[in-house]
C-alpha cells in the first residue's frame, strides 16, 4: 500500500506529482491510500518526469483544470476519486465529461460546487480598512467558505487589488498579499477585522437601491444564501426592508400626485423659445423628411437618409435606397456600393462632391436576422410614397442632368419600367421635364464576377464619363459667364472644379 499525505497548503502540486508518478509506475488506484493526513508518506514518487517521452499519460487542459477544481471540494474522498478517474481515462475505460458514469458525474458536480463557492467568495468578501503599511493602504477581511478554496480563490484578489495590501482570513487558511506577493498560512487569529466607516455608506446605498414594489425574497436567497449573511454588513438591513416593503409600496400607490414645482413652468417656456423654424428651404425640407411616416419603412430604419451636395449642382445622382451603413451614418453612399461609385467616379474624373447625390427611397428596407440585417428591395408602394420627397428635392436642385442608377431610380425618375440591359446608357425624358441618363446601380457590379463584371464595369464607367463630360461643359459655361477659367481642360485633373 502506498500512502500519501496531502498537506493543507499546496495540496494540488503534491497530488499532481504523486498521481503522475503512480500512473507512470502502473500503481492501481486500490493500492494508494490518500488519507495519510498525520503520517509521513511512505513513498512519494519523484516530482518531475517530463523528460521521459511517452512514459506518462497526458490530460487535456480542460480535463486537468476541472479535476484540480474538484480537488478543492471538502469531500474527504476527493483525492482518491480524482486518481481513479485519471487512471480509468488513461486506460481507455472512461471518457472525460461522460456524465452517465457515476464517478465522473460526481467529480463534475464537485467542480461545479467549488466554482460556485469561489465565485461567492469573489462576491462576498468584504474588506475593512486598517492602518496603512507605508505607501500602500491596507485592508482585511474575514470569510467563511464552504470548501477549502483559499488557494484557488485568492489570486483573483491579487489581480484586482494590486495597489493595496490585504489579508483574507478564513477558519482554516489565511491569504496575505503584501507588496505584490501572495502567501498562505494557517489561520491564527480567527475573528473579523474591526469596523470600517464606509460600511455605513454602503448600507445607505443598499437600502436605497431596493425597490419595495418588487419584493422577491426567494430570488434573493437563492443567489445569496443565508449562510453568507453573517459576514455581510448589508444583510442586517434585510428583515426591516422586507417588513416595510408592502406598506411603502402601498403608500406610493395611494399618494395623490402633487402640484408641479415652480421651476417646471419656466423650463417649459424656455424650451418653446428654442424651437424655431430654419430659414433655409433645403434644411426645412430635410427636417420634415426626418419625421416622415409616409410608409412603414420608417418604423424599422434608424433615420431618413437625405440627399447630400450643393443645392445648385447641375448634376444629380440618384440611387435606389440607403443600405446598412448609410442607415447608421445618415449619409448617402457611404457603404460598399457608395465606395465603389466614388472610386470609379474618381477614375473617370467625375467629381461626386460637386453633384447632389440622393436615393429614390430614403429609408433602409431590411429584415432582421439575428444580429444582421438582410437588405430588401423596396416595393412599388414604397417607391411611390417616397417620390414625394424626391420631387421636392428635384424642384429645389433643378438639375440639368440626372444620373439614375438602377431600375428603382429609373422608374421613380422617368415613370417607366423596362429591362435595364436595354435602357442603360440612354438619355430618357424625366417626369420633371429634364434629361435622365439611365445606368446600372454600383451594387449590381459588386454581385458580379469575372468577365461579366469587367463588362458591366466598363459600361458603368462609360456612363459616368458622359456625366463627367456634362459636368465639365456646365462648369465651363459657368466659368465663361462668371470668374472665367473655372473649368480645367482634359487630363482628368478636376481640382479646379472644386469649390474653395
Q: Which residues, 115 to 174, sit near another protein by CB under 8 A?
A: 119, 122-129, 137, 139, 141, 156-164
Residue-wise over 355-394: b if at least 16 C-beta within 10 A, else e?
bbbbbbbbbbbbeeeeeebeeeebeeebbebbbebbeebb
- Parallel, antiparallel or unpaired: strands 401-405 and 435-439: parallel
Q: Does 369 bind another protein (CB under 8 A)?
A: yes
Taking the complex as a whole, how short is the minimal distance between the CB of residue 312 and another protein, in angstroms?
28
- Nearest CA to 441 out of 323, 353, 295, 301 is that of 323
Taking the complex as a whole, how short is the minimal distance between the CB of residue 20 and another protein, in angstroms?
27
| Alpha helices per DSSP H over 181-237 | 198-209, 217-223
d(CA 493, CA 500) in angstroms, rounded, equals 16
Nearer Cβ to another protein (95/398): 95
- Give CA angle at 96 (94, 101), nearest 5°: 55
- Judged by CB under 8 A, the stretch of 51-59, 205-213, 412-420, 452-460 that binds another protein is 205-213
Q: Which pairs count as long-range contacts for 491-494, CB under 8 Å and 24+ apart, including other chains?
A: 492/348, 492/349, 493/349, 494/349, 494/351
Nearer Cβ to another protein (180/496): 180
Taking the complex as a whole, how short is the minimal distance between the CB of residue 302 and another protein, in angstroms?
4
Residue from 8, 28, 91, 105 touching another protein (CB under 8 A): that is 105
Residue from 183, 217, 247, 455 touching another protein (CB under 8 A): that is 217
| Alpha helices per DSSP H over 349-449 | 380-397, 407-414, 420-423, 442-447
Nearer Cβ to another protein (42/240): 240
- Judged by CB under 8 A, the stretch of 43-51, 342-350, 365-373, 450-458 that binds another protein is 365-373
Taking the complex as a whole, how short is the minimal distance between the CB of residue 279 and another protein, in angstroms?
22
Q: Which residue has the cell 446598412?
A: 324
Q: Which residues, 329 to 358, sit near another protein by CB under 8 A?
A: 329-330
DSSP state of 438: E
Nearer Cβ to another protein (55/244): 244
Nearer Cβ to another protein (363/466): 363
H helix or E strand, kind and range, residue 340: helix 336-348
d(CA 168, CA 187) in angstroms, rounded, equals 10
Residue from 13, 37, 190, 201 touching another protein (CB under 8 A): that is 201
Residue from 40, 216, 277, 483 touching another protein (CB under 8 A): that is 216
Task: For 123-145, give the DSSP string.
Answer: HH---EEEEEETTEEEEEEE---
Residues 6+ apart with CB under 8 A from 456: 440, 444, 445, 448
Residue from 218, 269, 273, 498 touching another protein (CB under 8 A): that is 218
- How long, in residues, is the chain? 500
Strand partners, 403: 317, 437
- Judged by CB under 8 A, the stretch of 75-83, 241-249, 342-350, 453-461 that binds another protein is 241-249
- Judged by CB under 8 A, the stretch of 9-17, 232-240, 345-353, 471-479 that binds another protein is 232-240
Q: Which residues, 269 to 308, sit near another protein by CB under 8 A?
A: 271, 290-291, 300, 302-304
Question: Is the distance from CB of 331 to CB of 308 less than 8 angstroms?
Answer: yes
Q: For another protein, how many residues bind (rule: CB under 8 A)?
A: 91
d(CA 367, CA 376) in angstroms, rounded, equals 7
Taking the complex as a whole, how short is the minimal distance between the CB of residue 129 and another protein, in angstroms?
7
Nearer Cβ to another protein (11/242): 242
Phi, psi (rounded to 5 degrees) for 65: -60, -45
Residue from 26, 191, 263, 269 touching another protein (CB under 8 A): that is 263
Q: Does 444 bind another protein (CB under 8 A)?
A: no
Taking the complex as a whole, how short is the minimal distance between the CB of residue 225 and another protein, in angstroms?
10
Nearer Cβ to another protein (37/123): 123
Radius of gyration of the chain, Cα coordinates, nearest whole angstrom? 38
Nearer Cβ to another protein (127/444): 127
Taking the complex as a whole, how short is the minimal distance between the CB of residue 371 and another protein, in angstroms?
5
Q: Does 1 bind another protein (CB under 8 A)?
A: no
Residue from 185, 252, 281, 462 touching another protein (CB under 8 A): that is 252
Amino acid at each position: 500500500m502506498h500512502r500519501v499525505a496531502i498537506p493543507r497548503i499546496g495540496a494540488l502540486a503534491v497530488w499532481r506529482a504523486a498521481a503522475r508518478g503512480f500512473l507512470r509506475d502502473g500503481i492501481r488506484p486500490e493500492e494508494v491510500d490518500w488519507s495519510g493526513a498525520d503520517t509521513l508518506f511512505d513513498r512519494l514518487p519523484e516530482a518531475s518526469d517530463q523528460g521521459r517521452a511517452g512514459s506518462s499519460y497526458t490530460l487535456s487542459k480542460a480535463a486537468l483544470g476541472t479535476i484540480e477544481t474538484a480537488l478543492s471540494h471538502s469531500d474527504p474522498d476527493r483525492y482518491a476519486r480524482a486518481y481513479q478517474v485519471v487512471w480509468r481515462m488513461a486506460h481507455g475505460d472512461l471518457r472525460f465529461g461522460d456524465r452517465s458514469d457515476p464517478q465522473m458525474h460526481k467529480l463534475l458536480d464537485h467542480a461545479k460546487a467549488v466554482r460556485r463557492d469561489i465565485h461567492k467568495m469573489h462576491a462576498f468578501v468584504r474588506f475593512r480598512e486598517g492602518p496603512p503599511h507605508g505607501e500602500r493602504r491596507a485592508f482585511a477581511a474575514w470569510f467563511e467558505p464552504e470548501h477549502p478554496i483559499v488557494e484557488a480563490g485568492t489570486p483573483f484578489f491579487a489581480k484586482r487589488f494590486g495597489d493595496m495590501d490585504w489579508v483574507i482570513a478564513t477558519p482554516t487558511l489565511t491569504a496575505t498579499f503584501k507588496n505584490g506577493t501572495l502567501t498562505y498560512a494557517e489561520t491564527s487569529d480567527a475573528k473579523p477585522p474591526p469596523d470600517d466607516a464606509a460600511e455605513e455608506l454602503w448600507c445607505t446605498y443598499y437600502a436605497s437601491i431596493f425597490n419595495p414594489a418588487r419584493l422577491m425574497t426567494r430570488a434573493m436567497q437563492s443567489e445569496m444564501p443565508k449562510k453568507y449573511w453573517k459576514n455581510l454588513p448589508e444583510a442586517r438591513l434585510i428583515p426591516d426592508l422586507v417588513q416595510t416593503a408592502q406598506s411603502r409600496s402601498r403608500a406610493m400607490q395611494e399618494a395623490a400626485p402633487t402640484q408641479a414645482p415652480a421651476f417646471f413652468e419656466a423650463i417649459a417656456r424656455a424650451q418653446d423659445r428654442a424651437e424655431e423654424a430654419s430659414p433655409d428651404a433645403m434644411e426645412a425640407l430635410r427636417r420634415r423628411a426626418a419625421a416622415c411616416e409616409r410608409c412603414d419603412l420608417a418604423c424599422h430604419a434608424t433615420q431618413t437618409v437625405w440627399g447630400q451636395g450643393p443645392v445648385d449642382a447641375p448634376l444629380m445622382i440618384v440611387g435606389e435606397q440607403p443600405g446598412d451603413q448609410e442607415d447608421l451614418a445618415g449619409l448617402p453612399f457611404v457603404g460598399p456600393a457608395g465606395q465603389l461609385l466614388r472610386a470609379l467616379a474618381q477614375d473617370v474624373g467625375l467629381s461626386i462632391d460637386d453633384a447632389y447625390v440622393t436615393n429614390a427611397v430614403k429609408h433602409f428596407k431590411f429584415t432582421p436576422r439575428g444580429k444582421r440585417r438582410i437588405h430588401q428591395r423596396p416595393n412599388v408602394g414604397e417607391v411611390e410614397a417616397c417620390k414625394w420627397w424626391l420631387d421636392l428635392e428635384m424642384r429645389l436642385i433643378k438639375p440639368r442632368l440626372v444620373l439614375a442608377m438602377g431600375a428603382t431610380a429609373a422608374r421613380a425618375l422617368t415613370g417607366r419600367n423596362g429591362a435595364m440591359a436595354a435602357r442603360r446608357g440612354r438619355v430618357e425624358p424625366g417626369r420633371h421635364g429634364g434629361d435622365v441618363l439611365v445606368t446600372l446601380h454600383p451594387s449590381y457590379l459588386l454581385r458580379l464576377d469575372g468577365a461579366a463584371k469587367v463588362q458591366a464595369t466598363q459600361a458603368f464607367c462609360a456612363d459616368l464619363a458622359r456625366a463627367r463630360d456634362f459636368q465639365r461643359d456646365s462648369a465651363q459655361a459657368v466659368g465663361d459667364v462668371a470668374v472665367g477659367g473655372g473649368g480645367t481642360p482634359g487630363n482628368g485633373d478636376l481640382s479646379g472644379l472644386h469649390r474653395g
